[in-house]
């Protein structure tokens, strides 16, 4: 199978940019990253379809001249799904902005709790609650 090097490199560059953006903290940037990423992946489908050719419509060209229609159908489906994704993530980013005045991805609650406990050197709340000796808290906490 022949692969189009330009398409491969363009796709790779887009996926790289997309991954970089997804690592950002703001949800809108994550969204832009996902869109770039998905378009990069769609290009890979065109690569997977083999060499370019005539439009795959019966009667327009000989079968041997046609490009492979299946990846094109797959890409179309993927594009539709990406559209739904953009709509949903935008709505979520907007809602997050409404509630918090920003759309940053927030800290994991448990992570933050554990970090705070570690900083102040405290017991976690799953510590044996039935213990009859509250003094041990003091010793361990001090």
User: Is the CB of residue 47 less than 8 Å from the CB of residue 35?
Assistant: no
Binding of residue 7 to another protein (CB under 8 A): no
- Say whether residue 14 binds another protein (CB under 8 A): no
Query: Phi/psi at 58 (nearest 5 deg)?
Result: -60, 130
Draw the binding track, 93-112, toward another protein (x: CB under 8 A; -: no contact).
--xx--xx-x-xxxxxxx-x
Minimum separation from the CB atom of position 12 to another protein (A)? 11
Calculated CA dihedral for residues 93, 95, 96, 100, nearest 10 degrees? 140
**Total binding residues toward another protein, as defined by CB under 8 A:** 62
CA distance linking residue 70 with residue 76, whole number of Å: 10
Which structure tokens are listed for 56? 């795959």
Considering only CA atoms, which of 125, 133, 89 is closest in space to residue 109?
Answer: 125
- Decide whether 59 or 134 has the Cβ nearer to another protein: 134
Q: State the DSSP H helix or E strand holding residue 142, giving kind and residue range, or none if neither.
A: none
Binding site for another protein (CB under 8 A): 1, 3, 15, 18, 22, 27, 30, 34, 37-38, 41-42, 44-45, 47-49, 70-71, 74, 77-78, 81, 84-85, 88-89, 92, 95-96, 99-100, 102, 104-110, 112-113, 115-117, 119-127, 129-130, 134, 137-138, 140-142
């Amino acid at each position: 199978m022949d692969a189009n090097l330009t398409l491969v490199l363009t796709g790779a560059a887009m996926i790289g940019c997309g991954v970089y953006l997804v690592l950002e903290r703001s949800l809108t940037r994550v969204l832009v990253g996902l869109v770039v990423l998905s378009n990069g992946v769609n290009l890979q489908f065109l690569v997977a379809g083999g060499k370019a050719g005539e439009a795959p419509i019966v009667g327009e060209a000989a079968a041997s001249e046609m490009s492979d229609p299946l990846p094109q159908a797959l890409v179309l489906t993927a594009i539709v799904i990406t559209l739904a994704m953009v709509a949903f993530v935008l709505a979520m980013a907007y809602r997050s902005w409404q509630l918090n005045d920003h759309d940053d991805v927030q800290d994991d609650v448990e992570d933050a709790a554990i970090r705070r406990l570690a900083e102040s050197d405290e017991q976690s709340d799953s510590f044996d609650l039935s213990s009859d000796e509250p003094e041990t808290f003091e010793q361990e906490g001090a």
